[in-house]
Amino acid sequence: MKQRGNPIAFWNFPVETGQGGKPYIEPELQKGTTPLVKQMRGLFTRNFRNEHHPRITEENFHGARAIISGDYKLVIDGDKNTGVELFDLKKDSAESNNLAKSQAALAKKLQLQLLEWQTSVLNSLMEADYK
């Protein structure tokens, strides 16, 4: 299996979008001389979202999340309260042997990387990276 250079993480935070918030870009400012999307039989071929990201905080760090680093995948499904799961994808592609207890140091390291990534996402969504 080819290894990824950097870890990749996933996070499903439990906040709904489209809660009736204001558009990110005012409709009048979206008008231009060049159409953004093509029309097919009078209908736009794409429907772009134009909304602010929902406000999230560190309280939203629970929920399903995972990080893959090298051969290992760490999974935390906060919704199911299954705890921390760690799998060696090279040796156990079916993810049936949880190594979280036997490789506790690696599990902790990946948990910290996942938390750092979530914090980075939070900072980006709340525009803290740009201030």
pLDDT of residue 49: 52
**Residue ranges of domains in the chain, CATH in brackets:** 8-16+56-130 (3.30.1120.10)
The 10s digit of each residue's pLDDT in 9-60 is 877 765 555 555 555 556 666 555 555 555 656 655 455 554 555 667 777 7
Q: What DSSP state is assigned to residue 121? A: H
pLDDT tens digits for 64-97?
Answer: 889 999 999 999 987 667 789 999 999 999 999 9
The torsion region of residue 13 among left (phi > 0), alpha (psi -120 to 50) and beta comes to beta
Q: Is residue 74 a contact partner of residue 115, using CB atoms and an 8 Å limit?
A: no
DSSP-derived secondary structure letter, 130: G
Residue 115 has pLDDT above 70, yes or no: yes
pLDDT at site 75: 94
Q: How far apart are CA 124 and CA 46, in angstroms?
A: 25
pLDDT of residue 106: 98
Residue 84 or residue 129, greater confidence: 84
Give the H or E element holding residue 108: helix 104-125
Q: How far is Cα 87 from Cα 71, in angstroms, rounded to an integer?
A: 8
| Total-model pTM | 0.64
Residues 6+ away with beta carbon under 8 Å from 4: 68, 69, 70
Q: Which residue has the tokens 């979206």?
A: 30
pLDDT of residue 6: 81
